[in-house]
Every structure is written in C-alpha cells, then in structure tokens.
Structure 1
C-alpha cells in the first residue's frame, strides 16, 4: 500500500486572485485606521466578520476568502462617501480579528498588530525647577539637569533599539543589551552605546555639544551619521555646533557629571552662552556682556548652589580681566 501524503501543497494563486487579495487588504487597512469608507464598504466588512466561528478549517477559510474577493469586486463602490471617524470604536478591532480567524491569512494578522502599534506614544521627561531622575522602560536610568527635556516613543523604544532625543544635559546609566543599541540624539550629535554611563550636554543655542564618558565605550557621530570618535572611560568630545569641528580630551568624569548629586553646579568648558543659561536656571540672574568681550570664555569649575553665583562672577573677572555690577537680578559685565 502506498503511503498517503497528508501534506497539502501550497496553493498557487492566479493574478486575478492576488488582485482580489490586495483589494481586501486595502479595505481592511482603511477600516482599521478609521479612514473614509462608504456605508456599503463598512457593511460589507462587518457582515463578513459575522460569518466567523471556532470551527473554521483551512478549506473553509479559502472558500470564504473566494466569496470575500468576489463580493468586493462586485459590490464595493470606488468613490466612498465622506464619512470619517476621529476615534476608532473597539468593535472595529473585534471585527477585524473575526475576519482574520475566518479567512486564515497570516499577513492580515501582521497588519492588525501593526495598526494597533503604529501610532506613536510620545513620552516627555522635563526638568524645569528641579533635577529629575527617571528609569526608562529598559531599566536604564537618566538624570536630567535643569532646563532639560528627554523625549522617546514608548511603542518603539526597546523594540529594535533604544532611541531618545535630548535637549539640554543628561547623565545616562544605560542597561547592557548588545542586541539593542541605546541612541541619544542631541542637537548636532548622536551618541550610541550598548551599556555604559556617560554625560551628554546639548543645550540649544549654545556653541558646543559635549559627550563625557564615566564607564564603557561610546560612539559619537554627527546627525548625518558621520562617526567622529569612539570614547572610553574619562574621555570627552567637544563639538563646535557652528563649524562642526571637534576635539577629544581626557578628564575626570566628575568634572562633567558632578551635578547629578543636586548640590553643585558644574561647568565643563562652558562658553558665555552656557554661563548665561546656567546663571538664569540656577540663580535667577540675567547676565549681560557688551560686545564680544567674553566670546572666548571656556570656564570649568564646581560651584555650590548657595554661594556659586558670587564665586563664578569673581572667577570670571579674575581670569578675563572684567568687572561687573548688579542691579536687581541683572548682572552687567564691563572692562
């Protein structure tokens, strides 16, 4: 006796059948996303779904699929009425799920899952009046300095990679995951790691972006994808945001990330624009400089929150031969 081969050959569809499939996919896609459908199109989709049951075989699915394709070709009008849905009712998803169970097409399941997760779920972490520490969905910890904001899409984060956007300054303690790189986009730079701790300073309007590494290995590139450097422990990259020129230096990471304890203002190669920003954020003081008298300032130092303003002002005067006067919350520098 010959053995019977119970494995069925994969059905080969004609061009006409493929066209019918594509038509049905398009209809279901528009239905799921709440786009414009005519009354007849919606009725057709929902009436097809009502045929589903728990005992549908592959043969039943294919036969029903043929009916679906034929119905669409014969009955769907190509110029739908202008009917839109701002919020998609839950039953749309239930109907779609019933259709997928009915016709047994794997690609529709993929489409269904994609429709549910395609809309971004934007998460914004903001540090205004106080420093902020937040644990991200992958277990990584981010410390945000004053005047900083971190943004990410929760639906995409930790799927293929871990991607965040930074405006301001943050210290990252990244959970190790070699399969899913951690990317920080900040102004003119992108920092890529797989598990390490580092500081990124990328305030808008300041002339430099700075990446400083405490532990591990960090790759720094431009927003166009050009690799600038690979940094290791106690190494730092400073990028001029106007000329896109850069340099790398050695440093004690505390000189870059010492601010995260909440008691100290840390300036790391800060130019006059960053000094103005920090004076306003930390001490509520407006700093004014006439002309380009302090255009070459690059200040490094640690300043306690209480007396830091006076110490910083004296240091600027001593180093750069300046004088200053205070009127209310305004500080004027002059020679």
Structure 2
C-alpha cells in the first residue's frame, strides 16, 4: 500500500497537484524505499507526452480501482461520509490528471529501460582481445582469420563478424594477420590513421598511439590502404612492400610528410622478415634510435625505461635477440655505446 501511495503522490507532484503536506509525505516515503529514488529521478525528467487523451481510458480504470479500494477501507473503519458532488468531482478530476501523468511517465520509463537493455545487448555483441606490455598472444577470429598481437595491443571486433558483409576489426598497437579467404566479404582493419582493405592475405599493421609513425607491411596477397583523413587516397601494396604514415604523437598528420613507400627488410642469411619477426619471439633493432629501442623493450618486457639524457635518445642500435633477458640485452647494447643502467623493479634508469 505504501508503494502505491508513492506512485500516487509522484503523479500528483509531476502534474502540479501535490500540496506541501503531500510533498513532505512523498519525501518521507522515499526514505523508506530508496530503491525507488532512481525511478523517481528518471520519471521526473522524462518529457510528458502530448497524447494524453490516448491514456484516458487507462487512467479512468486506475482511478476506479483506487476509489473502490478506498471505499472498502472507509466502510471497514466505519468512516464513510457523503461528500458534495462538486467536491467529489473536483477531487476525481485532480486524481485523474495525476494518474494520467503517472501512466505516461511509467510508459516512458519502460521505454527507457528497454532502450538501455538494447544498448547493453548491442555492446555485448562486440569482443576484444588485448595484450599487456611484456606479453604476446595469438588468436583465431570467428571468421577463421589468425591474428598475432604484440605487447600493448588491442583489437575489437563483432562476435558474429563471419556473418557480416564486412569483416571489420579496430586495432590499437601492432598485429599480424593471416586472413581467411572470403571473396564476398572483405576484411578491414581500422586504425586512427589508416584503413586496410583485404580479401585474403597476410600482413602486419603497426599503429601504436604513442609513436609518430604507423605502418602496414604486406607479406603475401594484396591490400589497399586508405588514409583515415583522406579516404579518396587509396594505395595498393604488393608483396614485401610497406607503407609508412608519418604523424605526431598526438595523432595529427605531419604537414608535408604524408606517407612513404618502402620495402620490408629481409635478412639475407635466414630470410627472416624484420617487420614480422616478433611473431616468432625475435626482438629486432634495425638502425633504430635509443628512444625507439626503449619503447620496444618496454612493450617486450613490461617495464618503464627512463632515458635521463637527451643525447642518449639519439644513439642508434642494430641487433637481433631471442630468449635473452632485459639485463642481457642492455649489456649487449653497451658494446657499441657507453651508458650506465640501473634496474629497480619494473623501472629502468639509463644515463651516461
């Protein structure tokens, strides 16, 4: 009965019929039923429909039931009294208005809940694979595409992507794809700076948000790359070709630089491809600055590296490592450059 009274008072409040005493009573009842406060706040801000007449029969029935219940209670208590017709008519009209508003608001609240549920279900259709710094992972997507994720990377895709006309994934970080062939449903990789379209091929995409370059390296097949800020510019790659897009670390393109085309780097001795060597647990530095090497080691080992001297960032290194520890790699780098390092937990401090 108390919750029914709350809804009745709420209807009178929204319709402007509530007295100060009724407003105080409503506040006191809401203290007893705090779970209704959320519904109350939603209903209070919901726009009242102009189609109020459509609810007339509903509110009439609700009013009749409420009056019948009140009359039974009054008879049981021996308190039934005759009221002037004009007074009863006025109260009946006020109550009808309150109940009418309440029914409309309840309908709006139901629509609100249904819409929220629909959004949650839509969100539940998305899936995500993420690797933290210091780890790498391999997974098979619903359409059969194999994907390797480097450290500090994330891909997002639809769970039913194999039933979609476009198989689309969002990438932040670095990933190597072996795409399952499906000529009728192209495979698309989106990053902040480019869109890669492919039917069936293997390629590597590197797009870390804290780096000033993004890369697409084609190994087999064919891909078409579009610049995110200029969809009209489409570049087709052939095997062993790489497209490098220059941008600032805040995501904005560098004026006058755009993109460049390069060849992927293949080791003459063992045919190892530098751009995809990480998939086989090789850490490769190819004439890279100490700043770039530090970023790679951070993701590879899950540490934070501090280069305390600006001159150190300009040092360049070349080398290939597999299964070596972080201290072993740092000692190897010291052979060609002079620096000191100190490891404290997950932090590495490097200085001259």
Please identify which structure carries the higher helix content: 2
Q: 1:157 to 1:139 in 2, by over 3 A?
A: closer
Other structure's SS at 2:109 match: coil
What's the counterpart of residue 218 of structure 1?
Answer: 223
Calculate the TM-score normalised by the size of structure 2.
0.57
In structure 2, what is the Cα distance between the partners aligned to 1:241 and 1:299? 23
Q: 1:280 to 1:217 in 2, by over 3 A?
A: same
Please give the per-residue CA displacement for 1:261-292, whole angstroms capped at 9, x wherever unaligned. Answer: 2x322346755554333323333443222354
In structure 1, what is the Cα distance between the partners aligned to 2:286 and 2:204? 11
Calculate the TM-score normalised by the size of structure 1.
0.59
1:231 is aligned to 2:237: yes
Q: 1:306 to 1:174 in 2, by over 3 A?
A: same
In structure 2, what is the Cα distance between the partners aligned to 1:249 and 1:293? 28
1:304 is aligned to 2:322: yes
The number of residues matched between the two structures is: 242
Aligned to 2:339, which of 323, 328, 331? 323
In structure 2, what is the Cα distance between the partners aligned to 1:273 and 1:158? 43
1:240 is aligned to 2:246: yes
Contact residue 309 and residue 351 of structure 2 kept, 8 A: no
1:148 is aligned to 2:185: no
CA radius of gyration, larger in: 2
Aligned to 1:275, which of 289, 293, 296? 293
How do 1:1-335 residues align onto structure 2 when only pairs under 5 Å count? Answer: 80-82=104-106, 83-85=108-110, 88=114, 121-128=125-132, 130-155=135-160, 158-224=163-229, 225-227=231-233, 229-242=235-248, 243=254, 245-251=258-264, 252=266, 254-261=273-280, 263-267=281-285, 272-290=290-308, 292-296=310-314, 301-307=319-325, 309-311=327-329, 314-315=332-333, 318=336, 321-329=337-345, 330-335=347-352
Q: 1:115 to 1:291 in 2, by over 3 A?
A: closer
Displacement of 1:87? 5.4
Please give the per-residue CA displacement for 1:23-78, whole angstroms capped at 9, x wherever unaligned. Answer: xxxxxxxxxxxxx999978x99xxxxxxxxxxxxxxxxxxxxxxxxxxxxxxxx9x
Q: Which consecutive residues of structure 2, in runs of 5 or more, have no partner in the other structure?
A: 1-47, 59-100, 249-253, 267-271
